[in-house]
Chain A
Amino acid sequence: MSDLTYSQVDRDILRAMQAPGRLYYVVFFANLLVLAWGIFAWQYTIYRGLGVWGLTHPVMWAMDITNFVFWVGIAHSGTLISAILYLFRVRWRASVYRTAEAVTVFALLTAGLFPLIHLGRPWFFYWLLPYPQGGGLWVNFRSPLVWDVFAVMTYMIISVLFFFTGLVPDVAVVRNRTTGWRHRFYAFLAQGWQGTDRQWRHYKAAYLFLAALATPLVVSVHSVVSWDFAQSVVAGWHSTIFAPYFVAGAIHSGLAMVITLLIPLRRIFRLDTYLTQTHLENLAKLIILTGLIVGYAYVVETYIAWYSNNVPEWQRFVYQVTGEYAVLFWIMILFNSLVPLLFFVKRIRTSTPWLFGISILINIGMWCERFVIIVTGLAHEYDPYSWGLFIPTWVDISITLGAFAWFFFWFLLFAKFLPVISIVEVKEELPPPMKSTGSEA
C-alpha cells in the first residue's frame, strides 16, 4: 500500500462509484423484486391478521423476533470495528470500517422494522413511544420492550451520526469531482468541508467523541435485547448469562457478515490493494475469539440447565437437543462454535474461499441460534398441555427474505453512491506527499 499516492487512492476508491454495469442492474432489480414480494407478504399480514404466520399459542414469537435479534446482532460488528478499534488505534481498521459501519446502519434499518412488523396492530406502533397525550397514557418502563425501543433508537441515531460524520471529508472529495444533482447531493453531505486545519481539528474531536459514545452501545444494545428474554419467566430464556452471551454472539455474526460482504466487494471493485488478505485475516482472528465466547456460553447454558436441578429447564434443554428443532440446534453448535475453530489454521484464514464459506455458515448458524433460543423456549414451556410447534408459512419466509432484500437494497445503493473505503483514513496510512526536491514546477 505504501507505494500508493493520494491521487491514486482517490481514483481507485472512487472508481467503484462509476456508472454501474449490467450485472449491477440485474442484481439490483432481482433484489428489488424479492423486496417487493416481502412487502407484499407484510401487507397481506396486516390485511388478514398475524394468523397467516406460523405462530401458534405457546410460540407467539418466532421468525419475527429471530430476524430482529439477528439484524441487531449484525449491526454490532460495525460499531466494534469503527468505534472500539478506533479508540484502540488499531491501524488495519481503516480499510474495512466504512463498509462495517454501513452494515451497522443498514442492519439497524432492517432490525428496526421487525418490532413494527411483529405487532398485532402495527398501525399503533407509536404507542410504544412516550409522548405527551391528553389521556395521560404512558409507556411501561418496566417492560423490556420499552427498553428495546430506547436502545435501538439510540443506537440508530448514534450510528447514523457516526457514519455521516466519518463520511464528510470523503464526500467532499466526491463533491469536487461531480456536477449537477450529484454535486448538490454530495455538497449537502459534505457540509461545506474545505479541509482547513480548523475543520480538521473539529472533525477529529467530533469523531473521537462519537466513537466514545458509540463504544458502550456495543455492549448495552444487545444486552438490552437479550433482556427481552432474560427478564421473562420462560425456562431457557430466564438466564443471567444472556447479556454477555448475546453481545458476543452479535459481534460474532456481525464480523461474519462484514467478511461475507467485503469479499465480493473487493473482488468486484478491484480493491485488493486496500482490502488485503491481512484485513480479512484479522477479522477471522476476531471471529475465533467471539466463536470461543459463544461456545463457552453454550456450555454454561447446558451446565446450568443440569446443575440447577430445575425440571422445566432441564426438560427444555433435552427438548432443544432432541426435539423437532434439534437439527437447528446442532447447526448452531457446529457453525457457530466448531467451524470457526478452523481459523486457527493459517492456511484457512488466509484463503478467500474458506473465509467466504465459513462466514456464510456463521451467518446461518447465528440465525439458527436466535431461532432455537426463542422458539424452543416457548414451544416447551411450563404447562405441558400447552406445548406447541411453530411451523413457518410462506409469509414468514417471504418477510424474512424481504428483510434480507431490504438490507441489500441499501447496501447496493451504498456501494454505488458512497466511497466504500474511507479515503481519508487510507491516506492517513500513507506517507504524506512531500514537496519534491526541486522538480516541483
Chain B
Amino acid sequence: MEVNRRDFLKIIGIGGATAAMAGCGTQPPESLIPYVVPPEEIIPGEATWYATVCRECPAGCGMLVKTMEGRAIKVEGNPDHPVNRGRLCARGQASLQGLYNPDRIRQPLRKGTDGTWGPTSWEEGEKVLAARLAELKGRGGRVALVTPLVTGSLDRLIDDWLRAVGGGSRLRYEAVSHEPLREANRLAFGVAAVPFYDLEQAELILSFGADFLETWLSPVEHARQFGAMRTYRDGRMGRFAYIGPRLSLTGANADEWIAVRPGTEGVLALGMIHAILAEGLATALPASEEAAFRRLVERWTPVETAEQAGISPDKVRVLARAFARSRPSLAVADGRTSNGTDICLAITLLNYVAGNVGRTVRFGPTAAAGRTSPYREMRTLLQSMEKGEVSLVLLAGVNPAFTLPEGERFRKALEKVPLVVSFASFPDETAMASHLILPDHTFLEGWSDAEPWDGIQGLQQPTMRPLYETRALGDILLSVAKQMGLQQQLPWEDFPAYLKEQWKGLHRQSGPAEDFETFWARALQRGGLFRPVPSRPVRLNPEVFRHRFEAPRFAGESEGLTLIPYPSPIFYDGRTANRPWLQELPDALTQIVWDNWIDIHPADAKRLDVSEGELLRVQSPLGHVELPAHLSGGVRLGTAAVAVGQGHSAFGRYAEGRGANPLPLLPAEPETASGSQPWIATRVLVTRTGRRHLLASTVGSDRPHDRGIIQTIPLAEVQRLRHPEKHPHLLQMYPEHPHPKHRWGMTIDLNACIGCGACVTACYAENNIPVMGKVQVAKGREMSWIRVQRVDEGASHHPEHRFLPMLCQHCDHAPCEPVCPVYATYHNPEGLNVQVYNRCVGTRYCSNNCPYKVRRFNWFMAEWPEPLHLQLNPDVTVRSMGVMEKCTFCVQRIQGGKLQAKAEGRAVRDGEIVPACAQTCPTRAIVFGDLKDLDSEVSQRSKDPRRYRVLEHLNTQPAITYLKKIIAGPVEG
C-alpha cells in the first residue's frame, strides 16, 4: 500500500479527531488530544462555559458550567439570570458531586425474584414498562407518576404522556413545600399562588419562621435581596426581626430573635394587627375593612397575644408600631405547624393591613413553588397502593420513603404494587424499593427548562456527554410511547425535539423580531428567556373576616419537648446528603460536620441531666430515634430541633448511616386547610441512653475571648466614623514589598456575610480540596482554605451569632514566610503569599506561626474515589502527602485574567478576576481586586470607615480588610 504525505496526514487527522471525541466523554484525561483536526469547542487547557439551570432545589437558579476537555469541572451562577444574578449556594456548588457521585446508578437495573439487583438493557427495561402500560391502558387510573416540582416543558410532556398512555394520577411532590402559603393567599385574595416577596425594598422584615436565607422559596435570590436591604446608607439600614421558637441561620442574621411558642406566630401577627388598628396606624386601610379587621382580631389584645405567644405585651406593641411605620415593611411566613395555613393567613393579613400587598408582596411574578401537589395527595396514593388499587408507580427524582413521615409504610406499600419503576440517579431508599430502575441523567447531562417564577424560563442544556448509560426522563417517556404505538399523540423523536417545539411557542409569544434559530441560540447563550411580568392587583376576599384561627395541635405527652424538625440548609430534604463536600461543610450554627443531632436548650438539658454529645432516645407517639444532644440556647425552652436530611439507610457511601431522620416521629395527618405536611406537630420524650456519640465540629471555641477577631459597631456610631481610621503601621526591620504592578486584595463586609458557607464549597470545587471525613475533622484536620467562623457574642443561653469568613490574609509581613527554611512560601511581586508545593518539605512551621491558622497540611495522600476525580480542576495542582497548602486567592484565575488582558492588549479590568469564594457569595460580602488600582471596588471598599484588619496588632499587614458588622439592636417602634 502506498501512502503519500497527504494521505498520511488525513489518516492521522481522522485518528486525532476520534481520539479527541473520546476525550470529550468519560475517559480520564490520559489520551493526548492532537491538534491536527481540533474538535469544535475543545481547546486543551481552555474552558468552555455552558449556561444551564441548577436543579438541586426548586428555586431554579441560573448556572454557568465550566467544562475543560469535555468535563464539567466547576459551576457558577449565571450573572444574566434574574433569580440568582451570578451567585449560587453551597448546594448548587456541590451539584458536580451529584454528577460525579461514585454511587450513581450507572445503567438500568432490575430487581430479580430473589430481591437482588442485576443489570438490564435499556431496550429490555423500556419494553417491560411499555408492556405494563399497554396492559393497563383503558383500565383507567391505575398508574401513578410522582415527580418533584417539575416546571416548563418536561412538566407538560409528562402530562401529555400520561394522558396518551391512558391516564393516571400525577403528583408533584416536594417535602419542603409552601402549600399553607398558597392556601392562605387563596383564602385572603382568592389567588392560589405564592407571590413574589420583595425583600430588597422592605425597610423592616419580620420573618415568622421563614428561613429565606436557607431553604424557603428561593434562598440565593432572597439572600441577595436581603444583602441589598441590609446595606448601610446615610445612617440607616433595613431592619430584620426573626420570630419563631428556633434560631435558624436566617434568624441568626436578624437584629432580634423573638422566641415565640411553636405555632403561635399567627397569634403574634393577629395581635400586631390589633395593636396597629388600636393605635390608628393602618392608614392605607379602607374604613369598611378596618372595622371588619377590628372584629376579626378583637380577641388578640397585646396582653392576650403575649400570653399565648410567651413574650411580653410591650414587644407586641413595639413590633406592631415598627411594622406599620416602616414603609414598606414585609412579613414572611412559613407554616409548618398543624395550623400552618392560619399562620400564613394571619401574616398575609398583617402585610395587607400595613399596606405591603402590591408593594413588597406582589402577585406577579408568582412562584412555581405554588404548584406542588399537597402532601395529602401523597397520602391518598399511599392508601390506594395499600388497597391494591395501583398497578404501576413511576417515581422520578423523589424519595418519599425517606421524606414522608410514613416513609416505611410507603416502602411497604410499594411492595403491593406489581411494578414500581424508578428513574433515580442514586440508590436511595425509594429506588431500592422499586422493581426497575431506569436511571435519568443528572441535570448537568440533559436537556430541559425550568420556570421558577412566571416569566423566567431557564434553559437547561447538557454540559457534557452522559457519564454512564443513563437516559433523560423525557427521552424514556417518548421512547416508551413509541413502543406503545403512540406516535400520533407524541410525534417527537426525542425530548430535545419536544423542548425545541415548546420554545418555538415562546418564540412566537415574544414577538418574532428574530428568526427562531437566532432566538434559540441566544436563549442557550444567556441561559433562558427572561421577561418582566406585571404585578396583578388583588382584592381582599371579605370571606376572610369569617375565618376562624385555630391553635396548633401537637401529638405526644404535654410534658415532652416540642420537636422542631427543619429542612437542613445543607441537605435540603435529604437529597444532597450524598455529596461529600456538603457533608464536610460545617453547619453554620453548630459547625458540626458529617452528622445530625438534636438541639436542646441548656436549661432543659439540665432538667433532663443531659450533657453535650450524649446519645438520646427521642420518643414520640409514632416512634423513636436516637440522636446525640447538642446544647444550644438557639431553641426556645421546651422545644428541641433536629435537621432533616441525614439518617439515610440507603443513598450511597457518603450519606448512609449518619445520624437519624426525625420525620418518622411525626404524625401523618395532613394539615386540614392546605393538605400540607405539618413538621412541627409532635412533642417528644427525651431520655438518656448512657452512650456517647462523637460530634465532629470544626470549632475550637466559639466565644470571642476579647480577641477582637470579629468586630462590630453600633448603628448609631457608624455615621460618626467620617474619616477612615488609618491602619496602624508598626516598625518593621525589612523593607516594604514594592508590588510594582498589582497588589491583590480583598474586602469582606461582615454586615453582608450571612454565614451560608457557599464560599467554602465553591473553594473546595475550584481548588481540588480533599474531603477528610468525620474522624479526621474531629481531629481538626479539615482542609478547607476558607472557613466561616462563627462566634457567639450573646449572653449565656441567648446566642448572638456573628460570622467571619477566614482565609489566608496574604499579609505583607507574613509570619509564615521568614520561618520556612526552604522558601516554599514567599511573597510574590503582586502581593500574594505563594505556597510552592514542590519545594515544601513539610516542617509545618509556617502553620504554627500563622496567627490566622489558615494553613492546611496534607496529613495523608488525598483520594477521590472514581469518578469524583474527573471533577478536578486541571489548572490547580493536586497536592501530595506531606506538604502545606492554603488559599491562593485563586492564583490560577489571576493568571488567566492577566493572560486574557495581555492577549487583548489592555490592562486588567476591575472585576474581571474573581476568586471562587467572591464569585459565589450571594450577598456580595466578598470583593476582590487590585489595591494598586485606586478606582477599583476593593480599593474603594477598603476605605470604608468600618474597616479593620484581623489581629492588626501583630503587624502582619494583611491584604484582607474586613468591614465591621453593624449592630442595630432590637427593633424599636
Contact = CB atoms under 8 A, between A and B. Distances in A.
To the question of whether A and B form a pair in one complex, the answer is yes
A312 B819 contact: no
Nearest to B702: A385
Nearest to A125: B841
Contacts of A124: 841
A388 interface: yes
Contact of A232 (B700, B849, B860): B849
B822 interface: yes
Given A50-B882, A120-B883, A140-B822, A315 B853 contact: no
Interface residues of A, number: 49
Contacts of B776: 51
Contacts of B706: 311
Interface in A119-152: 119-122, 124-125, 127-128, 137-140, 142-146, 149
A319 to B, nearest CB: 10
B-side binding surface: helix, strand, loop or mixed? loop
A48 interface: yes
A286 B590 CA distance: 54
Interface in B795-815: 806, 815
Given A128-B821, A143-B818, A383 B843 contact: no
Interface stretch (A20-28, A56-64, A100-108, A407-415): A56-64
Contacts of A322: none
A193 interface: no
Interface string B812-843: 00010011111100000000000000011111
A145 B845 CA distance: 9
A58 B706 CA distance: 19
Contact of A48 (B699, B790, B860): B860
B806 A51 contact: no
A118 B842 CA distance: 8
A121 B842 contact: yes
Interface in A260-282: none
Given A149-B821, A233-B815, A57 B780 contact: yes
Nearest to A383: B853
Interface in A344-394: 378, 381-389
Interface in A55-114: 55-61
Given A51-B781, A120-B844, A385 B839 contact: no
Contact of A143 (B699, B701, B845, B882): B845
Among B709, B787, B882, residue most surrounded by chain A Cβ atoms (within 10 Å): B882
A145 B707 contact: no
A195 interface: no
B884 A120 contact: yes
A256 B702 CA distance: 43
Contacts of B701: 384-385, 387
A384 B791 CA distance: 9
Contacts of A57: 780-782, 847, 853, 856-857
Interface string A217-240: 000000000001001111000000
B821 to A, nearest CB: 4
Interface in B916-954: 951, 954
A378 B849 CA distance: 9
Contact of A145 (B709, B787, B815, B819): B819
A382 B841 contact: no
B848 interface: yes
A375 B132 CA distance: 69
A431 interface: no
Nearest to A126: B841
Contacts of A139: 821-823
Contacts of B860: 48-49, 51
B859 A50 contact: yes
A119 B842 CA distance: 5
Contact of B853 (A144, A145, A231, A386): A386
A113 to B, nearest CB: 15
A381 B855 CA distance: 14
B143 to A, nearest CB: 54
A384 B709 contact: yes
B632 interface: no
Contacts of B806: 383, 385
Interface string B857-886: 111110000000000000000000111100
Given A121-B882, A383-B853, A142 B818 contact: yes
A388 B849 CA distance: 15
A60 B857 contact: yes
Contact of A140 (B699, B820, B842, B844): B820
Among A60, A149, A381, residue most surrounded by chain B Cβ atoms (within 10 Å): A60
Contacts of B853: 57-58, 381-383, 385-386
B865 to A, nearest CB: 18
B138 to A, nearest CB: 64
Contacts of B779: 54, 56
A60 B849 CA distance: 10
Given A121-B882, A128-B821, A143-B821, A385 B856 contact: no
A144 B820 CA distance: 8
16 contacts: A49-B861, A50-B882, A61-B848, A119-B841, A120-B841, A120-B844, A121-B841, A121-B883, A143-B821, A232-B848, A382-B707, A382-B951, A383-B700, A383-B707, A383-B851, A385-B787
Given A60-B848, A140-B821, 15 more contacts: A51-B860, A57-B847, A120-B884, A121-B840, A128-B822, A142-B818, A143-B820, A232-B845, A233-B954, A234-B848, A234-B849, A382-B853, A383-B951, A385-B702, A386-B780
Q: What are the nearest 5 A-B pairs in CB distance?
A: A120-B842, A387-B700, A51-B859, A120-B882, A386-B853
